[in-house]
Structure 1
């Protein structure tokens, strides 16, 4: 594709952004950090490295990479870390506070990722003038990529994943994306690597361990004494967690809950919706099944046997896993890709997942084959697995030991990314 055609395409792209910005300002989620997203409030300080972490999950991956960036360099490094969401920004602020205070030679500045208007991105990159840009997971922003190319910024896409559907979208205009594409891509699997190679060229693609394993390396169950839910859930209770359940599986999950409470009426069930603004939908679904429930925000004292707690508060899923004897991980009874079942596993609970967990295929099929997680074909099989787990509980310490051994063999992703960033910087 000729430069004139690319310039014309980016010009049209910029016109779309200019028209869209007044509408985007009406979005309450984008109001947070608006002046940073538009650069109306100024620009960040110049930096050697720009790391883009789309949301909360990627922000934690950025944190892992920042830890590894301490060792390869002897001089002070200024790092700009950006994100698209409030959760991601808050996570990056905590990472910056920790690393800046450690006097490790890194100076971290969090910022909201600017809107991808080519004009905004040219101003941003032209001021920051990074030597290298790191994109975590897969974000192909034409304005950002083009600005980096114009200013000679080397681009690394790491922890990359690409679905067949995404590949199909990029194949609609492969030359355009290849022209603007990253200089190096580190994919989390051979399959992802082949898809990236189809678009950007196989010579640019490496395969790396998923950084998410690094993040889980130190994870483990908190002691009962430190668990913030110790005054809510009795330590000896048959406590079952349904974690991160999604509205698309309302019927299946509420049926599963009814079956569990029917077969094990003394169970305490904690039902955690993935999105709290859908709590009202879960109220209705449980009512339709004749299940009596109480909101977590309105519960008082320790829950009694036979209680179903509908969780409507943030931040308590992980400690709940720490007290659970069995756990079902949602997003998996409907074709939604699943949710993170490593969390209950590192808390010492063998997780049950439905058949749809492709978003976590990076974990490896061996986790099912080795019995570290239980895959159910449908809700009925998930119920059988939960009952079996309750009736034949494994020692929490043994589950954690096996989980850590599995994770240990897959560490090193953050260090590999830090090394590639160092290589980019050292070539100058």
Structure 2
């Protein structure tokens, strides 16, 4: 496909947006910021820098970058930050409130990202006239990239991640994305860099530290005396957490629970469903396995050894990790991508995860290779790993210190992006 074919494709893309826009008005998730998404309510102020963060998670990454931006000594730096979701907009509004008036020379304006109709995007770029646009993670919008290309705006893709599935989708139209390629791509791993290189060309790609590490604090484990759950489990009892377990791994997790309590009948097991509306499924499964259980909301006093506590109250997983001697982190015995096993680690507990944790591959394979976390191929291996950890429980302070060092060694992503931004703006 030559340039003519690319232009024809973009025209067809624009016609598709015009057809679908009237229907999107009925989408409840898009009603917030509708006038900004369509530009019917006016346009934002011009800005030197435009940062696009898709939703809440990326908005926090944008916030970290904003903290590290260094405005020129003799001038101000105006930044437009956009997002697609209400949660993202609320996060960016808090970031703007923190920075505006408190960080000299930096002015931040939050806005909703317009719909990717090429005509809307051209209006937006013509109004904002940024010297640089930054997109975070995998925000590859043809209308936006085309408008930037037409307007002479360089694009930096930062904290870049790309799955095999996403790459396959983009490769259905490789000529278009090669034509609209960002000037620079900063990927969070060599694997992601290779995928971006396949799509856009390897000479544009480099590897950076993941900004998510910058967001992690250095808090140590909560002391037992200050833990709000300290009266639920006796200090001498083995307390094991099954954190954020998912319905799709119900059978495997139930077998794991039954095996653990059979091997170590004095264990207290805290089972935290990822989705509370599946609690009845977990109750039936635990019943069917012949295990004793009690709802967390009905528990009075200290749990008896050999009990499964079905956690039906919100917001208590992290303090529960602070009392646990071992933990299995769910969403990982079925191909669901896994759940966050840095939470138990920073609480001083060595986590066991199943083989499916690709959603957290940004942590690096070294977290497994170093022994900070344990990967099990199935529920049987997970059982053996939990038993081993209970037999030789590492000191909580040692685990926390090693986790903290792992995180600190991987920080610096926000600073690296801020430096690239400065290089682009200073070379303009």
Which category describes the TM-score, using the shorter chain as reference length? 0.7 to 0.9
Structure 1 residue 304 and structure 2 residue 337: aligned?
no
**Take 1:413 and 1:155, find their aligned partners in 2: how far apart are those partners?**
18
Structure 1 residue 176 and structure 2 residue 180: aligned?
no
Q: CA deviation at 1:205?
A: 0.8
1:141 paired residue number: 141
**Take 2:291 and 2:34, find their aligned partners in 1: how far apart are those partners?**
43
2:378 paired residue number: 378
Give unpaired runs (5+ residues) of structure 2: none
Aligned length, in residue pairs: 427
1:187 paired residue number: 187
Mark the CA change 1:10 to 1:318 in structure 2 (over 3 Å): closer, same or farther: farther
1:246 paired residue number: 246
2:63 paired residue number: 63
Q: Which secondary structure state, in structure 2, belongs to the residue aligned with residue 79 of structure 1?
A: strand
**Take 1:80 and 1:230, find their aligned partners in 2: how far apart are those partners?**
46
How do 1:242-391 and structure 2 match up within 5 A?
242-276=242-276, 278-279=278-279, 281-291=281-291, 293=293, 298-299=297-298, 304-305=303-304, 306-312=306-312, 314-391=314-391
Q: CA deviation at 1:359?
A: 3.1
Q: Confirm or deny: 8 A CA contact 2:291 2:307 kept in the other structure.
A: no
Q: CA deviation at 1:206?
A: 0.9
Q: Which secondary structure state, in structure 2, belongs to the residue aligned with residue 349 of structure 1?
A: coil
Q: Give the TM-score, by structure 1 length.
A: 0.88
Q: Which secondary structure state, in structure 1, belongs to the residue aligned with residue 398 of structure 2?
A: helix
2:48 paired residue number: 48
2:81 paired residue number: 81
Mark the CA change 1:262 to 1:56 in structure 2 (over 3 Å): closer, same or farther: farther
Give per-residue Cα distances to partners, 1:118-137, cap 9 Å, x unaligned: 23322333333322221111
Q: Which secondary structure state, in structure 2, belongs to the residue aligned with residue 242 of structure 1?
A: strand
**Take 1:233 and 1:130, find their aligned partners in 2: how far apart are those partners?**
57
**Take 1:391 and 1:207, find their aligned partners in 2: how far apart are those partners?**
40
Q: Which secondary structure state, in structure 2, belongs to the residue aligned with residue 216 of structure 1?
A: coil
Give unpaired runs (5+ residues) of structure 1: none
1:161 paired residue number: 161
Q: Confirm or deny: 8 A CA contact 1:231 1:301 kept in the other structure.
A: no
Higher gyration radius (CA): 2
Mark the CA change 1:87 to 1:227 in structure 2 (over 3 Å): closer, same or farther: farther
1:402 paired residue number: 402
Higher mean displacement: 182-191 or 36-45: 36-45
**Take 2:228 and 2:70, find their aligned partners in 1: how far apart are those partners?**
33
Give per-residue Cα distances to partners, 1:288-327, cap 9 Å, x unaligned: 445565555x446555235544445554433333333222
**Take 1:189 and 1:37, find their aligned partners in 2: how far apart are those partners?**
32
**Take 2:156 and 2:33, find their aligned partners in 1: how far apart are those partners?**
26
Mark the CA change 1:285 to 1:197 in structure 2 (over 3 Å): closer, same or farther: same
Q: Confirm or deny: 8 A CA contact 1:72 1:419 kept in the other structure.
A: no
**Take 1:261 and 1:224, find their aligned partners in 2: how far apart are those partners?**
24
Give per-residue Cα distances to partners, 1:49-96, cap 9 Å, x unaligned: 222222333222222222211477664322222333344333333333
Mark the CA change 1:260 to 1:57 in structure 2 (over 3 Å): closer, same or farther: farther
Q: CA deviation at 1:265?
A: 4.5
Q: CA deviation at 1:352?
A: 0.6
Q: Which secondary structure state, in structure 2, belongs to the residue aligned with residue 323 of structure 1?
A: coil
**Take 2:75 and 2:279, find their aligned partners in 1: how far apart are those partners?**
50
Q: CA deviation at 1:373?
A: 0.6
1:106 paired residue number: 106
Q: Give the TM-score, by structure 2 length.
A: 0.88
Q: Which secondary structure state, in structure 2, belongs to the residue aligned with residue 254 of structure 1?
A: helix
Q: Confirm or deny: 8 A CA contact 1:36 1:111 kept in the other structure.
A: yes
RMSD: 2.9
Structure 1 residue 417 and structure 2 residue 417: aligned?
yes
**Take 1:4 and 1:284, find their aligned partners in 2: how far apart are those partners?**
61
Q: CA deviation at 1:29?
A: 3.2
**Take 1:82 and 1:232, find their aligned partners in 2: how far apart are those partners?**
45
**Take 2:399 and 2:285, find their aligned partners in 1: how far apart are those partners?**
33
**Take 1:83 and 1:206, find their aligned partners in 2: how far apart are those partners?**
25
